[in-house]
């Protein structure tokens, strides 16, 4: 089999499973379930083979099926191959989970059909070597996901969530289509690898800044960034497998597009600055609102908004290799978190009440931040800060603030001393892991993703703003027990629990608009 045909086996297998689901739209027989699982396994084996062949032969784009430079072509490189394997693995797990979760449903086969179709389109999207395939797969993913969101069409909440998703998705589709048209006009080709090479060799064309801006808009809409995030928090009305499916390249497709066109994005500093500010704002707001949500799936959805914002901020800082690593790690973690959410609720309900809470003093919090940052600096010096970009150093400092929060608990007067020693180990492991994974990501994506550029004056301002913002939030979270009794906190908690009312405003803007088929 030619090398270029091996990656195509992954989406073809899932689309074949989707066809089976639509042929048997009612209750799915056991034999059909086994066949769908087998086809998902074929897709995963094809993804593994694609990754192995990439290691042996290097990046490749398959011959174009189309005309005028636009059509279907698969691209296997350091970006698409890991994502193809990620989607295949999560898809296989979700299909197995859904076969039990929806067992006996009257429209089980139809659900499985739309589920597999969504996975197939996502695979076509991440492996797209041509602008035409990218746009078609992006839109196809959105339309098939829409059918899953309306699997229980009689639910008013499901209708509302699907309506919001439909409006935001169509705006994102228009932005992506506009960006690809500008790229095709500016460079005269739809081949993504050729486009990238032309931008690196000749610099940006007069259309490229507009294309970069539209790609950023498409990414922010796809990744549920504040304030147009409401659809993601409300699609929890869909069956749990859909929530996990969202993290198999659907909600994080915006980050993928920015990573795929990294060389183009670096030609538009103003667009990158906007990504840092909007992504950082979404990350901070999402992280705070997450802590106020009583429902586990809604809390996880707000966590996803925060994580997607953090990933877009990474792209805005030019840390595309780290953004790709973040995408892979977050997808695996969050898909598991959604699938395990029901069991987690049962375990917490059955667990014994915890003992007294160790409340750290201001002195303990200050010591914790100094200790965590000191460990980070020591590990960074051992790895060589001079070989690391300022953006990556700042990102590591932001990540270590989470360890500082744990440190504060361990340094509280009522905390056992063994806890503090254990957290020191966590800080050392986290710092070493960050630098090691950073070096690995840079090495594996060299030649595919551009190196992080040196920050200009605006870049330094954004770096400082990001570090100070996340540091302030971490400090406030660490000291929360000390000021939680203040009357103003109760009001703040209400505002945060309602997502600062941005979603309610979006509801009002939509008004009485309805999708076809809604009651």
Q: How confident is the model at residue 519 (pLDDT cuts 50, 70, 90)?
A: very low
Residue for token digits 């690196």?
A: 200
Alpha helices in 291-389 (DSSP H): 296-316, 320-339, 341-350, 362-383
Span 257-282, mean pLDDT?
94
pLDDT band at 516 (very low <50, low <70, confident <90, very high): very low
pLDDT at 515 over 70: no
User: How many Å apart are CA 472 and CA 335, to the nearest integer?
Assistant: 29
Contact in structure between 281 and 309 (CB atoms under 8 Å): yes
Q: Please, which pLDDT band fits residue 273 given cuts at 50, 70 and 90?
A: very high
How far is CA 38 from its chain centroid?
27
Q: What is the pLDDT at residue 291?
A: 81
DSSP letters for 136-173: HHHHHHHHHHHHHHTSSTT-HHHHHHHHHHHHHHHHHH
Q: Are 34 and 8 in contact (CB under 8 A)?
A: no
Q: How many helices (H) and strands (E) does the chain have?
A: 23, 4
Other Cβ atoms less than 10 A from the Cβ of 415: the count is: 18
**In this structure, what token pair is assigned to residue 228?**
């147009």
107: closest CA among 19, 20, 25, 24? 25
**What SS3 class is residue 191?**
strand
Q: What is the CA radius of gyration of the chain?
A: 23
The SS3 assignment for 75 reads strand
Supply the pTM of this predicted model: 0.90
Buried/exposed code over 401-412 (b: 16+ C-beta within 10 A; e: otherwise): bbbbbbbbbbbb
* Block residue for tokens 């749990």: 240
CB of 14 closer than 8 Å to CB of 91: yes
Residue with tokens 């792209």: 315
Q: Which of 52, 84, 56, 59 is nearest to 447 (CA)?
A: 59
In this prediction, residues 486-511 reach a mean pLDDT of 80
In which band, very low, low, confident or very high, does the pLDDT at 508 lie, cut at 50, 70 and 90?
A: confident
Q: Are 215 and 257 in contact (CB under 8 A)?
A: yes
Residue 3 pLDDT > 80: no
- Residue 264 pLDDT greater than 50, yes or no: yes
Across-strand partners of 65? 72
Reply yes or no on whether the pLDDT at 407 is more than 80.
no
- 285's tokens: 């707001």
CB within 8 Å of 100: residues ≥ 6 apart: none
- Report pLDDT digits (tens) over 323-376: 999 999 888 888 888 888 766 556 655 554 555 556 677 887 888 888 888 888
Asked if residues 96 and 109 have their Cβ atoms less than 8 Å apart, the reply is no
**pLDDT score of 79:** 94
3-state secondary structure of 512: coil
Closest by CA to 101, choosing from 289, 273, 240, is 240
Q: How high is the pLDDT of residue 351?
A: 54
Confidence of residue 410 (pLDDT cuts 50, 70, 90): low
Q: Is 505 left (phi over 0), alpha (psi -120 to 50) or beta?
A: alpha
Write down the pLDDT at residue 406. 72
DSSP-derived pairing of the beta strands 60-61 and 65-67? unpaired
Confidence of residue 242 (pLDDT cuts 50, 70, 90): confident
Spacing of C-alpha 383 from chain mean position: 28
Q: What pLDDT does 377 receive?
A: 85
Residues 6+ apart with CB under 8 A from 477: 291, 405
For residues 145-172, average pLDDT: 84
């Amino acid at each position: 089999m030619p090398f270029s045909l091996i990656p195509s086996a992954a989406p073809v297998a899932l689309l074949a499973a989707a066809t089976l689901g639509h042929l048997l739209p009612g209750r799915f027989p056991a034999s059909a379930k086994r066949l769908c699982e087998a086809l998902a396994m074929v897709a995963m084996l094809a993804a593994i083979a694609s990754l192995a062949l990439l290691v042996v032969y290097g990046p490749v784009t398959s011959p174009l099926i189309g005309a005028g430079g636009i059509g279907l072509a698969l691209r296997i490189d350091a970006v698409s191959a890991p994502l193809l394997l990620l989607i295949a693995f999560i898809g296989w797990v979700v299909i197995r989970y859904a076969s039990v979760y929806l067992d006996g449903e009257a429209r089980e086969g139809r659900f499985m059909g739309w589920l597999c179709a969504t996975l197939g389109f996502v695979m076509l999207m991440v492996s797209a070597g041509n602008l035409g395939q990218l746009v078609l797969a992006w839109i196809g993913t959105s339309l098939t996901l829409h059918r899953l969101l309306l699997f229980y069409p009689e639910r008013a909440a499901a209708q509302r969530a699907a309506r919001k998703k439909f409006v935001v998705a169509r705006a994102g589709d228009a932005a992506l289509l506009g960006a690809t048209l500008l790229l095709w006009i500016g460079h005269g080709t739809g081949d993504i690898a050729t486009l990238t090479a032309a931008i690196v060799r000749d610099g940006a064309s007069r259309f490229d800044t507009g294309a970069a801006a539209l790609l950023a808009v498409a990414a922010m809409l796809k990744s549920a960034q504040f304030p147009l995030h409401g659809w993601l928090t409300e699609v929890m009305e869909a069956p749990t497998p859909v929530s996990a499916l969202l993290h198999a390249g659907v909600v994080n497709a915006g980050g993928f597009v920015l990573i795929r066109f990294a060389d183009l994005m670096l030609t538009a500093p103003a667009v990158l600055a906007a990504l840092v500010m909007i992504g950082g704002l979404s990350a901070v707001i999402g992280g705070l609102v997450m802590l106020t949500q009583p429902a586990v799936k809604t809390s996880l959805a707000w966590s996803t908004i925060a994580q997607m914002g953090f990933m877009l901020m990474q792209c805005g800082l030019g840390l595309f290799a780290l953004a790709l690593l973040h995408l892979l790690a977050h997808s695996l973690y969050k898909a598991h978190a959604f699938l395990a959410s029901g069991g987690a609720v049962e375990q917490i309900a059955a667990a014994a009440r915890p003992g007294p809470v160790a409340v750290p003093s201001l002195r303990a919090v200050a010591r914790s931040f100094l200790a965590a940052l000191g460990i980070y600096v020591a590990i960074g010096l051992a790895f060589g800060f001079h070989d690391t970009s300022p953006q990556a150093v700042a990102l590591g400092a932001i990540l270590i603030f989470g360890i500082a929060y744990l440190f504060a608990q361990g340094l509280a007067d009522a905390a056992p001393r063994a806890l503090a020693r254990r957290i020191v180990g966590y800080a050392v492991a986290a710092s070493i892991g960050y630098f090691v994974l950073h070096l690995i990501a840079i090495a594996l994506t060299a030649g595919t993703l551009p190196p992080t550029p040196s920050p200009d004056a605006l870049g330094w301002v954004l770096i400082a703003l990001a570090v100070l913002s996340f540091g302030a939030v971490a400090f406030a979270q660490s000291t929360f027990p000390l000021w939680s009794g203040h009357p103003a906190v109760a009001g703040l908690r209400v505002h945060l629990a309602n997502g600062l009312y941005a979603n309610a405003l979006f509801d009002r803007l939509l008004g009485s608009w309805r999708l076809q088929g809604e009651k």
